[in-house]
Amino acid sequence: MRANNFTQNMLKKSNDELENILEDKKMYTDEAIQAVIWELENRNIIEKGSITHKPVIFEKDALIEEKELDKANHEASSEATDFPILYSKRAIQGFTIFFSTLFGAVLLMSNLKKMNKPKARVEVLVFGISYTFLTIILLDYLPKTFFLTILFNLVGYAILVEYYWNKNLGKELLHQKKQISKPLIISFAILVLLVFLQFYILI
């Protein structure tokens, strides 16, 4: 038998009284309304399942729910802003492959500075300069092909990320992506300057 705390009270009421309660739901609790529906169904006044009762959310309750939702959203937003803003691995990959390992090293050094890793920054700088000069020397003796240059840069990227990033920042570090527009402009400017100097020397 379906019953709750209001079932006995509703048994004593007339059909008209029960219907009046059902029409004025806001004046009664959800439990009382449910008891009314069950009693009307038992009396065959209404068909079973013809009325589905949904709890009434009063303005006060809605306001509380809204405040709780705002609080949860604010906390989630605060957690997101707690993540450091760093150049992503993909950004380092792009700069390393299309410019050189030294350019990718500079981005990683910026991340290490943000995370207060001064010793690691020096290590990355030394590696970036050393590897770049080693690449230039080796390419002087090897056939000058675009494929070899890309291959050397890919190896440089792998060392920067798989070793230096993972060792000093952590493989699964959560962070916000930093915009690359500024270093991209600077990198293109340096590249144009180097090309200009090369032609100037040849002339």
Give the pTM: 0.55
Q: What are phi and psi of 85, to 5 degrees?
A: -95, 110
pLDDT tens string 12-37: 888 888 888 877 777 777 888 888 88
Element (H, E) at 141: helix 118-141
Count of other CB atoms within 10 angstroms of residue 102: 19
Q: Quick one: how far is CA 191 from the chain centroid?
A: 34
Phi and psi angles of residue 80, each rounded to the nearest 5 degrees, phi first? -65, -40
Averaged pLDDT of the chain: 79
Reported as a single tens digit per residue, the pLDDT across 62-108 is 455 556 666 666 555 544 456 788 998 899 988 888 888 888 999 99
Biggest distance spanned by C-alpha atoms of the chain: 110
Decide if pLDDT at 173 tops 50.
Answer: yes
Residues 6+ apart with CB under 8 A from 195: none
What is the predicted pLDDT for the residue at 57? 44
The burial of 115, by beta-carbon neighbours within 10 Å (0-12 exposed, 13-18 middle, 19 or more buried), is given as: middle
**Using an 8 Å Cβ cutoff, are 106 and 190 in contact?**
no
